[in-house]
Amino acid sequence: MRSTDVVRRWCIAPLVVLLVATVIGGCGGDPSGGAARPAGGEPAGSDPAGSDAEAGPAPLGQVGSAADLWAFPFTMAAARDQVRDALGEPISSESRRDDARTGGPEALTWEYPGLIVTFLTGTSDGDDYLISVRVTDPSVALGSGIAVGMPVDDAVTILGNPQVRDDRSLVYFYRASTIEIVVDAGRVASVVLARALP
């Protein structure tokens, strides 16, 4: 399989997860599945819009958003220039627009060693948005003890029970973010951290 095919395959999943999370959050449902969190929906000290404050690991089963796993030198609300400043030039870049929507936004994917960063560009408000980061290699550290290659059961111990689970993935919906654990042979194959669009 060509690397561009892999990138294309994994560009769509964060968009679908974001759409579902946005719909659930917009309907007033509790996308957390009842996970224990302080009033306001996000854990104390976390800022899904991107505070640079370092947060310690979340207690087991108490992860309250993708911000609890975020361990990158840019925030979840970073612009493309901020990501490029933090990580350098990507090893590959690909833009993809839904063929059915002429002139609509497109997904811009930057690939780095062990990391795929996806932006939504060409939006009606003229802004570009970082929408997801996919970690594909155990050498890329995440917070709260989650790591690519760990047993899925260990990830569930840390994250709690997912709102959506099948043989290929576990999905956790929060007020302003989503975590997707991609599963292969009982182990974490990749971790997608996505944020809801403003």
> Cα separation of 196 and 137, whole Å?
24
115: phi > 0 → left, psi -120 to 50 → alpha, else beta; which? beta
pLDDT for 121? 83
What's the CATH number for 3-35+56-97+105-195?
Answer: 2.60.460
> Cα separation of 75 and 1, whole Å?
32
Listed by start position, the domains of the chain span 3-35+56-97+105-195
Interstrand relation of 164-165 and 115-121 (parallel, antiparallel or unpaired): unpaired
pLDDT tens for the 198 residues of the chain, in order: 444 443 344 444 444 444 434 333 443 333 333 333 323 333 333 343 443 334 444 444 557 788 889 999 999 888 899 999 999 999 999 988 765 556 667 889 999 999 999 998 877 676 788 999 999 999 998 999 999 999 999 999 999 999 999 999 999 999 889 999 999 999 999 999 998 876
With a CB cutoff of 8 Å and minimum separation 6, the contacts of 43 are: 37, 55, 58, 62, 63, 64, 65, 67, 68
pTM of the prediction?
0.68
